[in-house]
A and B are shown apart, each in its own frame.
Chain A
């Protein structure tokens, strides 16, 4: 991932809105993608993953979309809740052989009640 220093992109939404968080990855060989959520003072927590042979995967209130053509991932959160407030990271790697999981810069999601 690329570093943007201390100024994380921030998305502010109202409770109940849908949120879309975007991420670009750089390694065209990556075939596995994960979204992590990190709350203040805690380690990253797995949200959802997707393999490169898919373009969409749904979980509970979350959907991940993958566009390999432009190397873009998005995370959609339905009916955003205050508890969703956190920093969200995308990460990618290649599953065959060991390749380190590379994290993106992160997006801070702020949910107002």
Chain B
């Protein structure tokens, strides 16, 4: 597709369940970012990949959060043992460079009950 695609768009999980969120970046974009956006707030950085290498994961809030991009294209953000405070929109963005304009997907809204 022409843009960044994320799935699922909406996910409801019971507390304690594991979830996996998928991101298909723009073809050829080497840089991929995950952001978390709580209601009424700006996006907060989670992690950054350059191709398949995870160069920065300083924003991951706990060891329950894990991201991968094994072939340098599609990325998955996994959250284990979800908690209510994990409820947020998870945004994926890609870029042809490591800086500059990021192209965002529409996000995956996670609600943990």
Contacts and interface: CB of A to CB of B under 8 A. Distances in A.
Interface in A37-71: 41-46, 49
A68 B76 CA distance: 38
A100 B100 contact: no
B100 A103 contact: no
Contact of A3 (B35, B41, B105, B107): B41
A interface, size bucket: 20 to 34
B42 A106 contact: yes
A16 B31 CA distance: 39
Interface string B9-42: 0000000000000000000000001010001111
Interface of B: 4, 33, 35, 39-45, 48, 50, 55-56, 58-59, 91, 93, 98-107
Contact of A43 (B48, B50, B105): B105
A11 interface: no
B100 A95 contact: yes
Contacts of B59: 100
A98 B48 CA distance: 9
B100 A32 contact: yes
Contacts of B55: 98
B91 A44 contact: yes
B45 A102 contact: yes
A102 B43 CA distance: 8
B101 A100 contact: no
